[in-house]
Chain A
Amino acid sequence: MKRKMNFWPAVFIGPFLILFIVFVLAPAVFGVFVSLTDWDLYNAPEFVGFDNFKTILFDTESIYHDQFFNGAKNTLSFVVMAVPACIIIPLALALMLSVKARGHKLFQSLLYLPNLFAISAVMIIWAFQLSLSYGPFKDWFGLDINITSTQPWAWIAIVGVTLWWCAGGNLIIYVAALNTIPKDQIEASQIDGAGSVIRFFRIVLPNIRSQLLFTTVMTTIAQFNVYGQALMLTGGGPNNSTRVLMMYIQQNAFGTGISAAGMAAAMAVLLGLVIMIFSGIQFMISRRAEA
C-alpha cells in the first residue's frame, strides 16, 4: 500500500479547482490587467498604465469622468438609503413575529417569498403597479404623479421595491437569532420592571449583535451591485438621476457601438475596491469568530 503516487486528491479536488482557476481566479487577475489597457473586447488589449483611472477620476472633459461620478453618486445614494431600510424594517417585523401571535409562521413565509423571485419579474410587476395608467395609486388614492420619472419618487420607488424584494432574507436571520435569546434574561428584566424599549437596547440588541453585523455587511455588498432595479424600473431616469454605476459598466463594455472594455474594467475595479473594504470587514469578523 505504500505507493508514492496519490491520485485521489486530484480526483476529488481537481474538478472544482480547475473551474475555480478558470472562472474565478484568472478573471480576477485578468480584470485588473484589463483596467490598465485600451481594449474593445476583440482586438489585442493595448497597455496604457493608469491612463483609464486618470481619465475617470481627473479628466473633467471626459464623458467617462462624468459617467463615473454620476454613477458612483447614484449607487452610493442608493446604498445609503437601501441598507438601513433593509436592516431596520426586517428587524421590526422579526420582533413582531417573535411575539408568536396567531399565524406568525404563515406571515413569515409570505414575507420571505419575494426573496426567491427573479428580479426582472419583480420589476415588471412593480413597473405596472407604479404606472399612472395601470396601477392602483391614481384610481384608488388619487395620486397623480408619474412615480418612476419624477424625483424623489423614483428613488423612493427603487428603494421600496428593493426592500420588498430583499427583506425576507434578513428577516429569517433575525427571527432565528431572536429565538435563541435566553428566556431567563428577558424574564429577569421584566421582574426588574424594564420597559420594552430598554429591554430592546439592553438585552435584545446585544444578543443578536453578530447577526446584525453579518446582515449589514452582506446587505451593503449586495446593494453596491445594484443594477436590475434601476434598469427596469426607471431606466436610469429621470435625467440619469438613477443611472447607477453597474449600468455604465455594462453599457461601456457590452452596449451598442465600439466597446470601451478597458474603461469599463477600470470603473469595475474602482467599484470592486469599495466593495472589498466591506468584504474585508466580513472576512476579519469571521476569522475572529473562528479563533
Chain B
Amino acid sequence: MGKSERVKKIVCFIVLAAVCVVWMFPVLWAVLTSFKSEYEIQSSGFHLIPREWTIDNYMQLVGNDSTPVFQWFVNSLIIAVGHMLLVLVIVSLAAYGFTRLNFKFRSQLFGILLSTMMLPSVINLIPNFKIVDSLGWTNTFLAVIVPGAASVYNLFLVKQFMDGIPKELDESAFVDGANRFQIFWHIILPLSRPVLTVVALFSFTGAWNDFLWPSIVMTDVDKLPITPGLQLLQGQYMTYPGVGTAGAILALVPTFLLYLAAQKSFMESMSLNSGIK
C-alpha cells in the first residue's frame, strides 16, 4: 500500500467516524433520555447519561387511555404481519401466473400493470378513503392491511426472479403428474425465497412505518397503529421528553431488530431496487 493510499484511508476513517457519531447522536440521546426521570430532564440541563436510571416513562405509557402506546404497538404488529402475509400470497401467486401460465393477453396485461406504476398515489388518497369507508372497514385493521397490498413493484421484482428459475424444473414435475398448484408450492416458492424475503421485509417495514393513510382511516384511538399514534403522543407530551422519547423508541424497536437479523437482505434489496434501471 502506497503512502498516499494510507493517508487517504486514515482521512476517510476519521471523517466517517465523525459523521457516524453525529448521525447516531439523536438516537442515542433518545434511548438514554427515555430512562431519565422527568425531574432530571427538566432541572439539570442537556446531558446524555441518566444520573439515575428509571423506567417511569415507559410505565406511564402502560394503561394510558388517551395515548395507549403499548396497544398501538400490538396493533402495528398485527397490521404489519397481516399486510406482509397478504402481499406474499397475492404477489407470489400472480408472479407465478405471469411467468408460467399461458393465457390470452398475458404480456399486454403485465404491460398495463407496469405502466400504472407511473400513477401518482396522491390522487388515490381521497377515493381510497371512500372505498374503504363503503366497505365498512374504517377503524378496522383491514383498512390498513389490504389497500396497499397489490403492489405492482413487488410483483415485478418477484416475476423477474421467477423468470430466472429454469423452466425444465417445473416441466419435468408436470410430466410426473403434478398440478399447477403443487409445482408452485413445492418447486417455485422454495426457490424464490431470496426475493420473497426482500418483499417480506419491505412490506413489513412499509406497513409499520406508514403514517398518513392510517391516520385518515383510523379515527378510533384504540385502533391506531403506533406510527400515526405517535403524533397524538407528541401533541400531549411536547414538553415531556422522557415520555415522548420512550414512545418513539418503542416504535423503532421492531424495525431495528429486523435490521439486525436481516441486514444482508436489506442491503441486497437496495441494490435490487436500483437494478430496475
Say which one of A46-54, A59-67, A76-84, A281-289 lies at the interface with B.
Answer: A281-289
User: Interface code B126-167, partner A: CB below 8 Å = 1, 0 otherwise?
Assistant: 111111000000000000001111101001000000000000
B interface residues (Cβ-Cβ under 8 A, vs A) = 8-10, 12-13, 15-17, 19-20, 23-24, 26-27, 29-30, 33, 41, 45-46, 89-91, 93-94, 96-98, 101, 103, 109, 113, 115-131, 146-150, 152, 155, 180-181, 184, 205, 208-209, 211-212, 216, 226-231, 233-234, 238-239, 241, 244-245, 247-249, 251-252, 255-256, 258-259, 263, 266-267, 270-271, 273-274, 276-277
Given the complex, which residues of B lie within 8 Å of A23, measured CB to CB? 124, 128, 131, 146-150
Partner of A16, one of B91, B125, B148, B252: B91
Q: Bound complex: CA of A265 vs CA of B238, how far in Å? A: 32
A28-B116, A118-B251 known; 16 new pairs, CB 8 Å cut-off, are: A6-B103, A9-B101, A15-B90, A17-B150, A30-B131, A93-B16, A101-B12, A121-B251, A129-B29, A135-B46, A139-B45, A172-B270, A228-B212, A250-B216, A253-B125, A254-B129
Contact check: which of B19, B89, B208 meets A118 at CB < 8 Å? B208
Segment from A105-113, A150-158, A198-206 that makes contact with B = A105-113
* Cα(A174)–Cα(B230), bound, Å: 33
Contact with B118, one of A177, A232, A249, A280 (Cβ below 8 angstroms): A280
- The reply to whether A9 and B255 form a contact with Cβ atoms under 8 Å apart is no
B45: chain A residues within 8 A (beta carbon): 139
Given A9-B101, A103-B16, do A120 and B230 touch, yes or no (CB 8 Å)?
yes
Cβ-based interface call for A56 (8 A):
no
The reply to whether the CB of A4 lies closer than 8 angstroms to some CB of chain B is no
Q: What is the distance, in angstroms, from B141's C-beta to the closest C-beta of chain A? A: 15
A249 and B131 within 8 A (CB): no
Q: For the complex, is A97 an interface residue (Cβ under 8 Å from B)?
A: yes
Q: How distant is A142 from chain B, measured CB to nearest CB, in Å?
A: 12
Q: What are 19 of the A-B contact pairs (CB < 8 Å)?
A: A12-B180, A13-B93, A15-B90, A23-B128, A26-B131, A41-B126, A96-B16, A99-B12, A101-B16, A112-B267, A113-B24, A124-B233, A128-B245, A176-B271, A227-B212, A253-B129, A265-B127, A286-B276, A286-B277
Q: Which of B8, B127, B259, B266 has the most CB of A within 10 A?
A: B127
Contact B118 A101 (CB under 8 A): no
Cross-chain contact A26 with B16 (CB below 8 angstroms): no
Interface of B, secondary structure class, is helix
CB distance A123 to B234 under 8 Å?
Answer: yes
- B residues less than 8 Å from A230 (CB atoms): none
Q: How far is the CA of A272 from the CA of B123 in the complex (A)?
A: 6
Q: Residue of A at shortest CB range from B181?
A: A11
Alpha-carbon distance A228/B81, docked complex (angstroms): 24
Chain A residues within 8 Å of B259, by CB: 113, 116
Complex Cα gap A107–B15 (Å):
11
Minimum C-beta distance from B247 to chain A (A): 7
**Separation in Å of the A259 CB from the closest CB of chain B?**
9
Taking a contact as CB atoms under 8 Å apart, the answer to whether A271 and B241 are in contact is no
> Which residues on the B side are within 8 Å of A126 (C-beta)?
26
Of the candidates B97, B205, B271, which one forms a contact with A116 in the assembled complex, judged by CB atoms under 8 Å apart?
A: B205
Residues of A at under 8 Å CB distance from B? 6, 8-9, 11-13, 15-17, 19-20, 22-28, 30-32, 34, 41, 93, 96-97, 99-104, 106-107, 109-114, 116-129, 133-136, 138-140, 164, 169, 172-173, 176-177, 210-211, 214-215, 221, 225, 227-228, 231-232, 246, 249-250, 253-254, 261, 264-265, 268-269, 271-273, 275-276, 279-280, 282-283, 285-286, 289
Residues of B within 8 A of A111 (CB): 19-20, 23
With CB as the reference atom, state the residue of chain A lying closest to B231: A120
In the complex, are the beta carbons of B23 and A268 less than 8 A apart? no
Contact of B122 among A24, A106, A124, A268 (CB under 8 A): A268
Distance, CA A279 to CA B45, complexed state (A)? 48
A52 CB → nearest B CB, Å = 12
Residues from chain A with Cβ under 8 Å of B252 in the complex: 117-118, 121
Contact residue among B94, B155, B230 (Cβ-Cβ distance under 8 Å from A121): B230
Q: How far is the CA of A210 from the CA of B271 in the complex (A)?
A: 12
Q: A27-B123, A118-B255 given as contacts; is B20 within 8 A of A19 (CB)?
A: no
B150 touches A272 (CB 8 A): no
What's the nearest-Cβ distance from chain A to residue B275, in Å?
9
Q: Is the CB of A16 within 8 A of B9?
A: no
Contact B116 A24 (CB under 8 A): yes
Minimum CB–CB distance from A123 to chain B (whole Å) comes to 7
CB distance A31 to B270 under 8 Å? no
State A105–B266 Cα separation when bound (angstroms): 14
Contact across chains for A136 and B46 when beta carbons are under 8 A apart: yes
Contact B271 A173 (CB under 8 A): yes
Bound-state CA distance A280–B120 (Å) is 10
